Amino acid sequence: MKRKIYFGDRLFTIICHVLLALFALICLFPFLLVISASFTDEYTLLWEGYKLFPSKLSTSAYQLVMQTSQLGSGYLVTIFITVAGTAASLLVTSMMSYALSVKKLKIRNKVAFFVYFTMLFSGGMVANYLMVVKYLHLKDNLLVYILPALVSPWNMMLLRNFFATIPESLAESAKIDGANDMTILMKIVLPIAKPGLVTIGLFYALSYWNEWFKAMMYMDKENLITLQYLIMKILRNINFANTVAGSVGVSVNVPTYTSRMATLVVTIGPIVFLYPFLQKYFVKGLTVGGVKG
Amino acid sequence: MAKASGLKAKPKKGSDLLYDLKHNKFLMLMLLPGILFFVVFSYLPMIGILIAFQDFSAAKGILGSKFIGFENFRFFLGSPDSFRVTFNTLFLNVLFILSSMIVSILIALMLSEVNNKWFKKGTQSLVILPHFISWAVIGLLAEAFLSSDTGYINRMLQVFGMEQISFYKDAALWPGILTFLNIWQGAGFGSIVYLAAITGIDQEIYEAARIDGSTKIQSIWYITLPLLKSTAVLLLIMSVGKIFNGNFGMIYALVGGNTLLYPTTDIIDTYVYRQLMELGDLGMSSAVGLYQSVLSFIMVNIANWITRRLSPESAIY
């Protein structure tokens, strides 16, 4: 077989590589900048601005950050809700998704619509707030991070599609061999669905890890707020300082530039380190669950 | 329950439920916690829609508060804010949806041209990475680039002897900045689905095209893009349904209370939040929330109607 290689094709491939590398670099650059800023000497940063290769290094920002009590409690709260929340969400979601993927369940389409409808229409921010605070009395309670976020309709649908790709004949032959629903689920379905479960688990873990809105709405106690809300609070102080910039230099509430960056690095660190190990799972899970055959 | 099995000829409403309760107890039990969750956290709060028609006071509750008809809506729709926040929500979302769709497809196309496994995996990891960072963190990252005195961009401008830009005081710049950040955060992640669709295309089609003398760009234009159309249309329609739902986390993190930027960045979601938390006007906040829900509901139905006409199998209901 003869294969022509056009000059234009080679050029096109090169351009693709260059543009991709460029976009990847744009994605990476802010992280590098922040890491280097967190190791910069405070005055050097103020004098030279953010630089990839600062002239004077220092670890004092990290020493300062480690002494902040809120960071410690923030970490504990965030890890707790991420672990406990992901486990609870995964359990409830996978049970529901599995049941809705079994064809012999007659009401499955009605229940699917019941879930889908919640994506279209909601009572709104005020009603949710009243529900949580007035009726469930969850203000200043760690459960407020987990319960209202227990099942994401989107994740539930994704996982249901994933379960639905498992051939029904597998379950049927096990049934003939005398297995009950529970055994079929534990021994056959769950092991096959592992990539899907890991994907959904990762999505849940991320949304718990990145939670800040509920901390803002429902937490008055400082030691119960999440890491991300800590970042948000720092950010709000800066925003405030920006609007009045010029008249006031640095407000007392605003942490120093480098310790701000150190807080940021400490917050995103675990995700950035864990992420490469998990990537192959969710690319696979998302592809199977999201695209119809 | 005995009735349901006895009346096989005339299936009654709800007989499916009775059938499942009898024959699929285990599956029904598995559904229970999830259903309970949606009842408590999605369906019961829907009663709260009534608040939108009330002069609501938390002390009196929903039952005790006075109904005032459409007063809250009239007040909101009569104020100049209503047009501004609706327009901003719509305008920003149109920018976001179109730009990230185009960039996602471009990334997927480029990734599919890469043969080197190492390069492919590396770049894919990097472009997806920003999706896993919260908007709070992105807000702080953006600050490092955009602030006037220490910001990276202004320092660079200084180096080249150009004038500084006060990003946080110029509202006109923000639709562009937000669009860029939205692409930065989501386009790589969005490319996963398109790449999967491209990988699923039969390689023989390309081989045949190549033998017929087609260049790569022609192959993409005449083979890949037409085959991506159904995926793209489906995703587009799904986002059209959410076009009146602004990205609260993004705006709150990047703009926050900076009133100078409100003209181009204040969206329905941030407006509702301010009515609730800063002004404590629950009735008004609910009314605006309901206004948004109704608009979304209409959009979803329009989107679904269009899908059903174009490709019935991808319609949602």
Q: Which of A114-118, A151-155, B2-6 has the lowest mean pLDDT?
A: B2-6
* Residue A148: per-residue pLDDT: 93
Would you call B297 and A236 a contact, using CB atoms and an 8 Å cutoff?
no
Residue B44: which pLDDT band, with cuts at 50, 70 and 90?
A: very high
In 10 A of CB A276, how many CB atoms? 12
Predicted confidence (pLDDT) at residue A44 exceeds the cutoff of 90: no
User: Which chain A residues are within 8 Å of B45, Cβ to Cβ?
Assistant: 122-124, 127-128, 130-131
User: Which chain A residues are within 8 Å of B261, Cβ to Cβ?
Assistant: none
ipTM over 0.85: no
B218–A contact, CB cutoff 8 A: no
- Tell me which of A66 and B27 has the higher pLDDT: B27
8 A C-beta contact, residue A159 and residue A197 = yes
* Residue B192: per-residue pLDDT: 86
User: Which chain B residues are within 8 Å of A1, Cβ to Cβ?
Assistant: 211
Residue A245 β-bridge partners = A248
Residue A87: which pLDDT band, with cuts at 50, 70 and 90?
A: very high
Share of chain A above pLDDT 90, in %: 27
**Fold (topology level) of B72-314:** MetI-like fold (1.10.3720)
- In whole angstroms, give the CA distance from residue A190 to residue B30: 14
By residue count, chain A amounts to: 293
Would you call B216 and A9 a contact, using CB atoms and an 8 Å cutoff?
yes
Q: Find the CB nearest B38 among A115, A127, A291.
A: A115
* Residue A151: per-residue pLDDT: 95
- Tell me which of A253 and A95 has the higher pLDDT: A95
Would you call A239 and B256 a contact, using CB atoms and an 8 Å cutoff?
yes
Residue A241: which pLDDT band, with cuts at 50, 70 and 90?
A: low
Would you call A122 and B27 a contact, using CB atoms and an 8 Å cutoff?
no
Domains parsed from chain A with CATH numbers:
1-58 (no CATH), 59-290 (1.10.3720.10)
Residue B74: which pLDDT band, with cuts at 50, 70 and 90?
A: confident
8 A C-beta contact, residue A34 and residue A261 = yes
Residue A193: which pLDDT band, with cuts at 50, 70 and 90?
A: confident
- In whole angstroms, give the CA distance from residue B314 to residue B231: 10
**Angle at A228 (CA atoms; ends A208, A129), nearest 5 degrees:** 65
Which among A61-70, A84-93, A106-115, B140-149 has the top mean pLDDT?
A84-93
A241: helix, strand or coil: helix
- In whole angstroms, give the CA distance from residue B23 to residue B302: 39
* Residue B41: per-residue pLDDT: 93
- In whole angstroms, give the CA distance from residue A35 to residue A54: 11
* Residue B301: per-residue pLDDT: 84
Candidates B132, B254, B131, B184; CA nearest to A269 is B132
Would you call B151 and A283 a contact, using CB atoms and an 8 Å cutoff?
no
Would you call A238 and B143 a contact, using CB atoms and an 8 Å cutoff?
yes
User: What is the mean predicted confidence (pLDDT) over B31-56?
Assistant: 90
Residues B260-315: tens digit of each pLDDT: 888 999 999 999 888 888 888 888 888 888 898 888 888 888 887 887 787 666 66
CATH 1.10.3720.10 in chain B: give the residue spans.
Answer: 72-314
- CB-based burial of residue A6 (10 Å sphere; 0-12 exposed, 13-18 middle, 19+ buried)? middle
- In whole angstroms, give the CA distance from residue A181 to residue A172: 10
- Tell me which of B42 and A275 has the higher pLDDT: B42
- Tell me which of B2 and B247 has the higher pLDDT: B247
Residues B263-276: tens digit of each pLDDT: 999 999 999 888 88
Q: Find the CB nearest B37 among A3, A8, A92.
A: A92
Residue A291: which pLDDT band, with cuts at 50, 70 and 90?
A: very low
Tokens standing for residue B135: 């908007």
Predicted confidence (pLDDT) at residue A121 exceeds the cutoff of 70: yes
- Tell me which of A18 and B159 has the higher pLDDT: A18
**Angle at B42 (CA atoms; ends B40, B43), nearest 5 degrees:** 75
A131: nearest CA partner in chain B: B45
- In whole angstroms, give the CA distance from residue A264 to residue A35: 9
A24 CA: distance to closest CA in chain B (Å): 5
Mean pLDDT of chain A: 82
Would you call A122 and B46 a contact, using CB atoms and an 8 Å cutoff?
yes
CA B33 to chain centre: 27
Mean pLDDT of chain B: 86
- In whole angstroms, give the CA distance from residue A80 to residue A206: 13
8 A C-beta contact, residue B52 and residue B283 = yes
- In whole angstroms, give the CA distance from residue B120 to residue B198: 15
Residues B180-228: tens digit of each pLDDT: 999 999 999 889 888 888 888 888 898 899 888 888 888 899 999 988 8
Share of chain B above pLDDT 70, in %: 93
Would you call B44 and A50 a contact, using CB atoms and an 8 Å cutoff?
no
A277 CA: distance to closest CA in chain B (Å): 10
User: What is the mean predicted confidence (pLDDT) over A203-214?
Assistant: 90
B164–A contact, CB cutoff 8 A: no
